[in-house]
Amino acid sequence: MNVQIRQLFISPGHNFFGRHGQAAGEHATVEVAGIVCRAGRGVEGDRFLDYKPDYPGQITFFSWEVVAAARRKFSRPELSAGAFRRNVVVEGLDLPALIGRRFSLGGVDFAGVVESKPCYWMEQAVGPGAEAWLRGNGGLRARILRDGPLAVGPAELGLAEAAP
């Protein structure tokens, strides 16, 4: 099955994660044409590379359809997918269905671990009410099982029964 990788992002530092009670950070979310995934480690150039052993959010995925819906819901047609601070924005893929499953995208193997739950910072990044609205649609945290590159464009999706 083919899906579309619409956008890819990395950020060198944390703007929200681990900043409870502090102001948001100012690290840019940088859109790139390609990323390099490192098994068990994360995405090269991203803030979560080598964050913790076996970290469930080595890479994050977000739905292009949710980006489009958020633009309508919050009357923000200019809203960047980068505001959600996920690495891979995909179109045509049911991300919640990948929780607990092993899958490949563009030849790179992943294990879907858990929803990338929205936090209260989404109220600032997207708009009032965004945290509650995004529940169940916050994206997917995954582990990287095999090194490889991902690029913007069409990508083959492969599914396995369960994550290791």
pLDDT in tens, the chain (164 residues): 889 999 999 988 554 555 455 555 465 688 999 999 999 999 999 988 998 888 999 999 999 999 999 999 999 999 999 988 899 999 999 999 999 999 999 999 999 999 998 877 788 788 999 999 999 999 999 999 999 999 999 999 999 866 55
Structural domain contains residue 38: no
Closest CA to 114 of 64, 67, 59, 48: 59
Q: Quick one: tokens of 106? A: 């563009």
The structure tokens 């150039």 sit at 45
Residue 121 within any structural domain of the chain: yes
Can you give the pLDDT at residue 164? 55
Does the residue 37 lie in any domain?
Answer: no
d(CA 94, CA 139): 10
Q: By residue range, what is the domain housing residue 59?
A: 2-9+50-159
Residue 85 in any domain: the answer is yes
Rg of the chain (C-alpha set): 15
Predicted TM-score of the model (pTM): 0.88
- 110 in a structural domain: yes
150 in any annotated domain: yes
The answer to whether residue 30 is domain-embedded is no
CATH number, position 124: 2.40.33.20
**What is the number of other CB atoms lying within 10 angstroms of the CB of residue 146?**
13
The pLDDT assigned to 18 comes to 53
Report the DSSP beta bridge partners of residue 159: 103
- Overall number of domains in the chain: 1
Would residue 142 count as lying in a domain? yes
pLDDT of residue 23: 54
Contact 93, 154 (CB under 8 A): no
